[in-house]
Structure 1
Amino acid sequence: MPVGPPDRPAPRSADGATLAAVFVMVLMLAPARLVFRGLPFSLTPADAAGLFAALWWFCAHLTTTLAAAKGPNPVRTALFAYTAAMLATYGYATAAYLPPDELDMADHSIVLVVATVGVGLLACDGIRGRERLDFVLRCLVVAGAAVGVIAALQFVLAFDLTKYLTFPGFRFTSELPAIFERNTLRRVAGTTGHPIELGVVCAMIIPIALHYAFGARDRGEPSLRWWLCAALIGAGLMFSVSRSAVLGMAVVSAVLVTGWPARRRMWAAVGGVGFLAVMKVAVPGLLSVFLGLFTSLSSDSSIQYRTHDYAVAAAEIGNHPWIGRGLGTWYAPKHLIFDNQYILSLVETGVIGLVTFAGIFLTGIWAALRVRRLSSDPAVRDLGLTLAACLVVPLVGAATFDLRSFATVTGLSFLIIGAAGSLLRTTRREPARAPLPPEEVNPAAGGAAPPRSPLPDHAH
């Protein structure tokens, strides 16, 4: 009797997670300086993908066939509040006279708000179940490793691969280059818009790479691939030669060590020391430059530049304290640059805009930490801690640069905020479990909760 070919699982139809994965690849691999030709304002491929995500989400909530989650979700509520605040400041600014250049910037900014919020909503309502969320986050780790390779080529060989990552119908903007100089060393941007952005983006992705690397054995899969990805992302962070990157890794470490078991903390410390030793041998002088960034703060011209414009900011905030002067209307070179997103948000969107901006990050962190309390699955609990650590990076980093002016870190932030909402929804739908024993609630005590698989996608 002839033996037929082995049965193969039926192919999965595209869903919200598929769109989110496409967005991740476009966001991370398309150069941030690449924009569409022929448009009245700059629009990157990732911006276009975000606008499509917003359209998908809107259509999905008019039907029952596109598998978008419905029902209350705190992350979605926070995104709605943020959108309402941005529309309010846009309406306030455009209701009166605005110079044509500022009006154009306001129009551009509100389009970008729709795109970034669309990404958050797509992730929150379109990613259904742990399996699909893992798929998106793994794509993010692989894309981050690819960015690390591009950054390494820029740093070691002064070869900018991003110059060749263009397509018909696109053009490069005349913004900053991808390779800079700092203290006789190159500092690079990878595919992002600036080395600071590269460092912050890598600091946000490293926790996810470590989550899959440490959990590979429990899943019965090889871990080397994830350790390699983590190393490449870490190299990209180092090659950014950025204080914000170091600050990001510091807050990530502070969050992760509070929830990691003692054994994992030990291995992470050993791995971190080994990585720094390799970097010291491979790139002599790099660690000394990083050390100098923090030992010479009092004489650093960049620090002095960041603080000299506080008086100007205070005067502008006093003119429009609650709703701001208008989203996108304060821009360089017409106005001074505030290397602090919180100050810039106060100037442009007022107290209401600042509160909703910080609120979306705080809500995402709360949702991720809430997952740790609700779930008894060690993998789910660790993923919740991981997403919380990722979101602390932009929340703190926004005080060191104008975060919302950079497309890659902004898009990544909204994606992870939405991912936290998706994970919280999935965890809430899991069957109720008995309370965990104290040694399982506190992993540092050495306990480990029994493994438990999430519900299949169709149950969500």
Structure 2
Amino acid sequence: MDSETTIREPRAADGGLDLSPVSRGRTPLLLRFTLFAIFFFPATMVIEPLGASGTVPTLLCLVLLLAWLASWLWGLHDPIPVRHPGRLAISLLLLASIASYAALYAGWTGGSTEMTRASADRWLLLLAASAALVLVTAEVIRTMADALQLVRALLAGAFFCCLVGVAQFVFRVNPMEWIQAAMPGFTYNGGDTPFQIRGSLMRVAGSTFHSIELGVVAAMLIPLSIWRSLTDPRGRRWFHWAQTALLVFAVTTTVSRSGILGLVVALLVFVPFLPRLVRRGLLLSAPFVVAGVFLIVPGFVGTIASALGADTSDPSIATRVNNYPRVVQLLDSHPILGSGPGNYTPPDALRILDNQYLGSLVTLGIVGLLATLAYFLLPGIAGVLAARAAVHPALRGLAGAVAAGALVAAVCSMTFDSLSFPVFALLYPALVGLAGGVWRMVRREADLRDDENAATARGAMMARAPAPTAKEVG
């Protein structure tokens, strides 16, 4: 039978929640292409007048936002009733950023220059693109088939990214240069680090900007890839698991502490929401996966052990520790709204704030830090609550996978300035939007279950009621 044939599972009521993975999904093609483009098109290639905001994925997200606004204005959809924690999270960050932006342009921060205003403009464009992904994704995810369509697009992009990483790691070539050469009208903007030596290994970045970004992004998507391998009726099961293995390999080839941390967080959050037999299978296969990594990547054990065991004598650790006194000094000048969105330019590589929360504190102030915490924590916590409330195994697993990916982003944002990296900065709001769609699906499942229980209770009461006598009938 064709996997696209619409097959409906028994539902609680007509028009209820469709949790069949083989139903026909209705996720818009533009959204799916945008999610794939996050990984495919180099973020180094920009339309020069737009600067760093002129990348293909960012422009596609802005087109999505315009389409969403036009649809709302023309009455084709009503976004007001579509409530979920992710929408609150991005709204808080937008409000804090706009307040800081206004303070910068008003001259209250004392650092209003042409360069700082351009940085603030780029930050707001990034938030607009992020808001588009959060809003559109949450609204279009109504069924399990919709979610699967979206996850397939995300993982197809990640698969491409991992293949690029394999080519970089094995052959020491960067296929992204070939794509850059095939993009007329775009200008190379720089900023990427496709190769970097750590110990005896060559760290690679795939189609992302940096090996740290690749490690964290791969860790964020591993739970979704496992869920897809267990749930998706389309394609070959072995190929789905091969894609999952490639994501694990990507974390390995980055030799990144952030990637290893993200992988641990992802599995700790996600595994408890899997069926018991699947949990056992994953636990039994874990030693073989680790052994395979050690065999495929010679020198990995020593290099990662050295990285994990590093102290403040390690330049990377020392730089992060030395950030705190400097952040306190910077915060003293403008503690409430910061120095302005994007208004921190390190004089050298040693003064980069490798911590998104510290970066938000400096540029957006205490208000912005609280909004950033909400942006990173609310979707993940809501995903965990949704997974605990879900009854259908596939829906519970999806909620757990999205929660795991979001919490990986929240934890790893303490180890690098995550929103400065273009792939992460757009992948995360896509997960937030997916979390919003899953939240709504779990709410509908609970409502349908309550309706069904109420109907059962009414039926039981009617069955227990005594039959009317002939006198009462008369």
Question: Does the 8 Å CA contact 2:25/2:145 hold for their aligned counterparts?
Answer: no
Distance 1:29-1:77 versus aligned 2 partners, 3 A rule: same
Structure 2 CA distance, aligned partners of 1:178 and 1:21?
26
Q: Which runs of 5+ in 1 are unaligned?
A: 1-5, 437-460
Tell me which residue corresponds to 1:33: 44
User: What residue is the counterpart of 1:279 in the other structure?
Assistant: 293
Give the TM-score, by structure 1 length. Answer: 0.86
Matched, 1:209 2:220: no
Structure 1 equivalent of residue 331 of structure 2:
317
Distance 2:263 2:382 in 1: 21
One-letter code aligned to 1:425: R
- 2:62 aligned to 43, 51, 57, which one? 51
Q: In structure 1, what is the equivalent of residue 429 of structure 2?
A: 414
Assess if the C-alpha contact under 8 Å between 2:82 and 2:139 holds in 1. no
In structure 1, what is the Cα distance between the partners aligned to 2:425 and 2:380? 16
When residues 14 and 68 of structure 1 are mapped into structure 2, their CA distance, relative to the original with a 3 A threshold, is farther
* Alignment partner of 1:244 out of 258, 261, 271: 258
SS at match of 1:39: helix
Q: How many Å apart are 1:108 and its aligned residue?
A: 1.7
3-state SS, counterpart of residue 61 of structure 1: helix
SS for the counterpart of 1:180 is strand
TM-score normalized with structure 2 length: 0.84
| Counterpart Cα distance in 1 of 2:316 and 2:258 | 12
**Could you say what secondary structure the match of 2:449 adopts?**
coil
Deviation at 1:324, TM superposition (A): 1.0
In structure 2, how many angstroms separate the alpha carbons of the residues matched to 1:419 and 1:390?
Answer: 11
In the alignment, the residues of structure 1 paired with residue 52 and residue 308 of structure 2 have an alpha-carbon distance, to the nearest angstrom, of 38
Counterparts of 1:376 and 1:265 in 2: how far apart (Å)?
17
Aligned residue pairs: how many?
427
SS at match of 2:73: coil
Is the deviation greater in 355-364 or in 69-78?
Answer: 69-78
Aligned partner letter, 1:411: L
Asked whether the 8 Å contact 2:37–2:157 carries over to 1, the reply is no
Note if 1:388 corresponds to 2:399.
Answer: no
- State the secondary structure of the residue aligned to 2:43: coil
Equivalent of 2:320 in 277, 282, 306: 306
User: What is the CA-CA distance between 1:221 and the residue it aligns to?
Assistant: 6.8
State the match for 1:199 in structure 2.
215
Distance verdict in 2 for CA 1:21–1:55, change over 3 Å = same
Matching residue within 162, 172, 177 for 1:158: 172
1:222 shift after superposition: 4.2
Residue identity matched to 1:181: I
Find the counterpart in structure 2 of residue 369 from structure 1. Answer: 384
Q: How does 1:11-410 map to 2 (within 5 A)?
A: 17-65=28-76, 70-96=81-107, 98-166=112-180, 167-215=183-231, 219=233, 222-333=236-347, 336-410=351-425
Q: What secondary structure is seen at the aligned counterpart in 2 of 1:308?
A: helix
1:115 aligned partner, one-letter code: A
Secondary structure in 1 matching 2:415: coil
SS in 2 for 1:139: helix
Q: CA deviation at 1:128?
A: 3.2
Q: Do the aligned partners of 2:86 and 2:375 also contact (CA within 8 Å) in 1?
A: yes
Of all paired residues, the percent bearing the same amino acid is 28
Q: Is the 8 A contact 1:15 1:66 kept in 2?
A: no
Q: CA–CA distance in 1 between the matches of 2:231 and 2:126?
A: 36
- 1:414-453 equivalence runs, <5 A: 414-430=429-445, 431-433=447-449
Distance of aligned partners of 1:17 and 1:419 in 2 relative to their CA distance in 1, 3 Å threshold: farther
Q: Deviation at 1:25?
A: 0.9
Residues 1:54 and 1:92: Cα distance change in structure 2 (over 3 Å) = same
Mean Cα deviation higher: 86-95 or 76-85: 76-85
Deviation at 1:214, TM superposition (A): 2.8
Q: Separation in 2 of the partners of 1:233 and 1:103? A: 38
Structure-2 change in CA distance of 1:196 and 1:435 (3 Å): farther
Does the CA contact (< 8 Å) of 1:17 and 1:127 recur in 2?
no
For the Cα contact (< 8 Å) 1:321–1:351, is it kept in 2? yes
What is the CA deviation profile of residues 403-445 of structure 1, one whole-angstrom value per residue up to 9, with x for unaligned ones?
Answer: 1101111111111011111111123233522699xxxxxxxxx
Q: 1:17, 1:132 within 8 Å by CA — same for their partners in 2?
A: no
- Are residues 290 and 117 of structure 1, via their aligned partners in 2, closer, same or farther at CA, if it must alter by over 3 Å? same
Cα displacement (A) at 1:76:
1.6
Separation of aligned partners in 2, 1:407 and 1:40: 13
Instruction: Give 1:42 shift.
Output: 4.4
Which whole-Å CA distance do the structure 1 matches of 2:298 and 2:121 have between them?
A: 47
Unaligned runs of 5+ in 2: 7-22, 453-474
Give me the whole-angstrom Cα distance separating, in 2, the residues matched to 1:294 and 1:177. Answer: 22
Query: Structure 1 counterpart of 2:118, which letter?
Result: D
Q: Which moved more, 1:391-400 or 1:141-150?
A: 141-150
- How many Å apart are 1:9 and its aligned residue? 6.9
Q: CA RMSD in A?
A: 2.6
1:348-379 per-position Cα deviation (integer Å, ceiling 9, x unaligned): 00111111112123221233223224432111
Cα contact 2:53–2:126 (8 A) shared by 1 = no
Native 8 Å contact 2:86 2:379 kept in 1: yes
Deviation at 1:274, TM superposition (A): 1.8
Measured in 1, the distance between the counterparts of 2:27 and 2:237 equals 27
Flag the 1:378–1:41 CA change in 2: closer, same or farther, 3 A: closer
Contact 1:69 1:126 in 2 (8 A): no
- Whichever of the two has the greater Rg, that structure is 2
User: Within 2, Cα distance between the matches of 1:421 and 1:120?
Assistant: 8
